[in-house]
Chains A and B, each alone.
Chain A
Amino acid sequence: MKEPAKNGQVIVITSGKGGVGKTTTVTNVSMGLAKLGCKVVAMDLDIGLKKLDLIMGLENRVIYDIVQVIEGECTLKQALVKDRRFPNLFMLPAAQTRNKDDITEDQIKKLCAELKKDFDFILIDCPAGIEQGFRNAIAAADGAVVVTNPEISAVRDADRIIGMLESAQFKDIKLVVNRIRPEMVRDGDMLSIDDLLNHLCIDLIGIVPEDDGVVISTNTGEPIILNQRSLAGRAFQNIARRFTKEEVPFLNLNRNDSFWDRIKNAFFSKQVG
């Protein structure tokens, strides 16, 4: 029997500045949602500069891409790449040899309307910048997540993006702070979570600490969320749980981090952002 039609949420992951961790966030949160039993599609809209297939470790399974779907060269179902680790996780690849102007906002809206019937969550990996690629990526989104780093140029770009999302009537805009280093914040050498929230004035949905494991997981194509011992992996899982409206407490960066606190931290995910 056919599954009843769903009414999925489309969430765009954006940032303005490049290199802050959008694709890493899309990858890990999508996988985290799939782990929680949701049916998820991660969509790469960085046409011309695709990365999501690599970060998810699915580059060898890509046959068709999103532009071919839009141009009718293949069906949506044919283009969706199934994850081998989670049967309810799919990836829609970007086209590498095309560019952002090859698709329109209306085409993305139509595509997302189709996907919403079959999926609980559609996560869009937005290209850096504020041009057509950005406008395509936000066109069909019900909510937006802005990823930033505790670094002034990333915060400035995040602020600009938040302003643009507000102008586009977005009501649900959430912040992910990626690559924070609590010890540098304590030493007065890095912007804190509170500093970022004071400047940007939006709700926080995730705090991801700097973690060398992310570099390793990118190398191997095994997303960090699959590593149970990684703090960043747990932080991403917590973001996924918050996506499903579960209340999960954030990491408290102000406490004194003794050796034992760090040990405890590594074992109890509740304390991790």
Chain B
Amino acid sequence: MLDFARKKGSATSRSKANDRLHTVLAHDRIGTSSGVMEQMKKEVIQVIRKHIDVDEPEVNLTSRGRQSVLDINIPLKGR
């Protein structure tokens, strides 16, 4: 299904529409905005940095089926 989009690079308007929808639906389903996500991301970093040294975490709101999922990926710094 995505083969064709890949052939033309990721810049097709169809793939762009899919990316935008993915994000907007995840937010719509839980009633938040991307601004709230940015704020939460900052707070998550603060909480974790109180205890351990970490790099910038990736905080993404995504969908699994019709369920919105908060995906937090935190790379830990090794010694």
Binding site for B on A (CB under 8 A): 152, 155-156, 159-160, 162-163, 166, 185-192, 194-195, 198-201, 254
Contacts and interface: CB of A to CB of B under 8 A. Distances in A.
A33 to B, nearest CB: 29
Question: Majority SS of interface residues in chain B?
Answer: helix
B1 A194 contact: yes
A250 B77 CA distance: 52
Contacts of B14: 185, 188-192, 195
Nearest to A189: B13
Interface string B61-72: 001011000000
B68 to A, nearest CB: 11
Question: Majority SS of interface residues in chain A?
Answer: helix
A173 to B, nearest CB: 11
Interface string B43-79: 0000000000000000000010110000000000000
B17 A191 contact: yes
Given A160-B28, A188-B14, 5 more contacts: A188-B13, A192-B14, A195-B17, A199-B21, A200-B66
Contacts of A163: 29, 66
A94 B15 CA distance: 41
A152 B12 contact: no
A166 B65 CA distance: 14
B22 interface: yes
29 contacts: A152-B20, A152-B21, A155-B25, A156-B21, A156-B28, A159-B28, A162-B66, A163-B29, A163-B66, A185-B14, A186-B4, A188-B4, A188-B5, A188-B8, A188-B13, A188-B14, A189-B13, A189-B14, A191-B18, A191-B21, A192-B14, A195-B1, A195-B14, A195-B17, A195-B18, A198-B18, A200-B66, A201-B65, A254-B1
A70 to B, nearest CB: 34
A185 to B, nearest CB: 7
Contacts of A189: 12-14
B15 to A, nearest CB: 7
Contacts of B18: 191, 195, 198-199
B24 interface: yes
A198 B24 CA distance: 14
Contacts of B22: 199
A191 B24 CA distance: 15
A212 to B, nearest CB: 23
Contacts of B5: 188
